Amino acid sequence: MTRPSTGKFAKCSLAAWAATLYVGAGSFASAEMLVPEKDELKLGFIKLTDMAPLAIAYEKGFFEEEGLFVTLEPQANWKVLLDRVITGELDGAHMLAGQPLAATIGFGTKAHIVTPFSMDLNGNGITVSNDVWAMMKENIPLGADGKPAHPIKADALKPVVDAFKAEGKPFNLGMVFPVSTHNYELRYWLAAGGIHPGFYSPENVTGQIRADALLSVTPPPQMPATLEAGTIVGYSVGEPWNQAAVFKGIGVPVVTDYEIWKNNPEKVFGLTKEFTEKYPNTTLALTKALIRAAKWLDENNNANRAEAVEILSRSEYVGADADVIANSMTGTFEYERGDKRDVPDFNVFFRHNATYPFYSDAIWYLTQMRRWGQIAEHKDDAWYAETAKSVYLPDIYMKAAGMLVEEGKADKGDFPFGTDGYKAPTSDFIDGVTFDAKAPNAYIDSLKIGLKNEQTISGSDVVGG
């Protein structure tokens, strides 16, 4: 049949498919047919490249094959998206990794949001205006090819920020949401270069307390136009909006999040805890379909990426020019116009266990919330672990993975059977600092800029020790 452009599939017969249930680490047994308790679903997304697993699960028929009748609906911004999941207007959505965590601990909005599926790794960049780039470039060494040596650290930006400050001009930067990966990556990069990105407090949620650079929210598709208008002089965003600045000739992406933190977790698929408890089979079916989509996106050394680019370029999905989307989705990334480099892992959807919801990923986001004052007071290490486990649901993921292995739709080696949910400690950060998710407070205290120990924000002052 021809799929309609509305984002809906005709229902398929529930009796047409059978399933198996994951029994334990690496063992499987046949079980009764998996029948979703709710098979008509509306799922939300923001127009970004990394919504791809949703688009592919729809377009390649994976939702349909798992017995789901899905509508995909773009949302105006991240707040609207989250609010509509909480109210039940959306059954689930493409979310910023920080959103389920922040909602569950009550920063911004209070609701128990969970995730059984991580949507991707990497995929973001930091772009500055042409004027700022011209000033930065004076501080960047050149490689043997005569081009700027990468990764470019914020050390090169610090003299520019200092010059703005000396002239009494604000250094305004855009990011997509207070609990977005983009906010934390931008803050990490700036702080690693000695530029203070500002604190939050319960009384002041601007995030600009004591800031050298002033970060504020701009919706992703509006980033290039806001930069061109001069309202901001740079931004942190996902694709295709960094490459759009290159194509428009209005800015230069200076660093990718892969360079800030190699293979960092990006988006997640978010649901209310109530939904997963009320509709466990539906949750499993969704997770299965999304795993299959992610696998398709990465399989055969990204052989399907050209087709994915065409799909994402459609107005109902990302709606950007295919050439712009392809600039990063097909394994390259363009910095200055003409300076295109191979970055095969810029967008990762399945490799490196990208889809598994690691507790350690959740804990890193929580450490950054604490570092910048979104978590106002000190929490012990156990709190970080307990919070991660209340939001990230790897048991559901592994049950879905086990079903796919038994059905012959995936290989057992594709999944981290036997993991405790924690990645090994890593120093794959732009500043070389080691992150160990099992010692979050020691990690927070090792970072040069940010709250530490019992410190809190009072007015514009850091107090405590």
Q: Output the DSSP codes for 270-314.
A: EEEHHHHHH-HHHHHHHHHHHHHHHHHHHHHHHTTHHHHHHHHTS
Return all residues near 132 (Cβ < 8 A) that are at least 6 apart.
157, 160, 233, 234
- Cβ neighbourhood burial of 203 (10 Å; 0-12, 13-18, 19+): exposed
Positions of the chain with pLDDT lower than 70, given as ranges? 1-33
Number of residues written out for the chain: 465
Distance, in Å, from the CA atom of 235 to the CA atom of 255, rounded to the nearest integer, reads 11
Q: What is the pLDDT of residues 122-156, one digit of tens each?
A: 999 999 999 999 999 999 999 999 999 999 999 99
437 neighbors 360 (Cβ within 8 angstroms): yes
DSSP run (H or E) holding 342: strand 340-342
Amino acid at 400: A
Q: What is the pLDDT of residue 5?
A: 35
234 neighbors 156 (Cβ within 8 angstroms): no
Q: At 349, is the secondary structure helix, strand, or coil?
A: coil
Helices then strands, counting H and E runs in the chain, come out as 18, 18
Which residue ranges form the domains of the chain, and what is each CATH number? Answer: 14-122+266-357+393-414 (3.40.190.10), 124-264 (3.40.190.10)
**Strands lying side by side in the sheet with 124-129:** 214-217, 172-175, 234-238, 124-129, 251-256
Distance, in Å, from the CA atom of 255 to the CA atom of 154, rounded to the nearest integer, reads 9
Q: What is the pLDDT of residue 451?
A: 98
Return all residues near 90 (Cβ < 8 A) that are at least 6 apart.
42, 43, 44, 73, 75, 81, 84
Distance, in Å, from the CA atom of 311 to the CA atom of 328, rounded to the nearest integer, reads 15
Distance, in Å, from the CA atom of 268 to the CA atom of 357, rounded to the nearest integer, reads 8
Give Rg (Cα) of the chain: 22
425 neighbors 436 (Cβ within 8 angstroms): yes
Q: What is the pLDDT of residue 4?
A: 35
